[in-house]
Amino acid sequence: MRAVVQRVLRAQVTVDGRVTGAIDHGLCVLVGAGQDDGRPDDDADVALIADKLVNLRIFADDAGKMNRSVLDTGGGVLLISQFTLYGDARKGRRPAFVDALEPVAAERLYDALVGKVRALGVAHVATGVFRADMAVELVNDGPVTILLDSRKRF
């Protein structure tokens, strides 16, 4: 799994003119599943990404150092599915998405990630709508943006 994690002052996702998920301060996370993540009997990728998200120390402590997690701050997490994180634009001008996991399995992993983040104690977890055309609005705080990959490719 891959995730683009952004520390935000606020974020929301809208589908067909209706807000489907919104948070105040916390993390806005774009998440995608790849071909290597689709093992139905193994949610190791979900567990790793969920643990990283809730424990990533990218919020300032009293000394101004990035030393607190979203759990420490009581912030929210907005999780938005985005298969284009597996887009490959190394050749030509149109990205290929052959490394993205097929939608049924990807949705299962996305739902599992949402559940795991909730189970790990995040105060407010919001979501987009899987496979929908979404409008995402956010105010990046810092800006702070971190890339995660469960296979540690970067």
122, part of any domain: yes
The count of domains in the chain is 1
Domain assignment of residue 48, yes or no: yes
Task: Please give the pLDDT value at position 97.
Answer: 96
Containing structural domain, residue 90: 2-149
How confident is the model at residue 1, as a pLDDT?
A: 96
Q: What is the pLDDT of residue 41?
A: 66
Distance CA 43, CA 39 (A): 7
pLDDT at site 125: 98
Q: What is the mean pLDDT of each run of 10 residues along the chain (154 residues)?
A: 98 98 98 87 89 98 97 98 96 96 95 97 97 97 96 85
**Domain membership flag for residue 154:** no
Q: Which residues contact 74 (CB under 8 A, 6 or more apart)?
A: 123
- Classify residue 106: in a domain, yes or no: yes
Residue 45 in domain: yes
Query: What distance in Å separates the CA atoms of residue 94 and residue 21, rounded to the nearest whole number?
Result: 30
Q: What is the pLDDT of residue 40?
A: 65
Which pLDDT value is given to residue 56? Answer: 98
> Is the separation of the CB atoms in 2 and 131 below 8 Å?
no
Residue 88 domain flag: yes
The whole-model pTM stands at 0.95
The pLDDT value given to residue 13: 98
The residues pairing with 144 across neighbouring beta strands, listed in sequence order, are 7
Here the CATH number for the domain that contains residue 11 is 3.50.80.10
* pLDDT score for 39: 73
Domain assignment present for residue 101? The answer is: yes
Catalytic annotation, residues? 82-84
In angstroms, what is the C-alpha Rg of the chain? 15
pLDDT, residue 153, reads 86
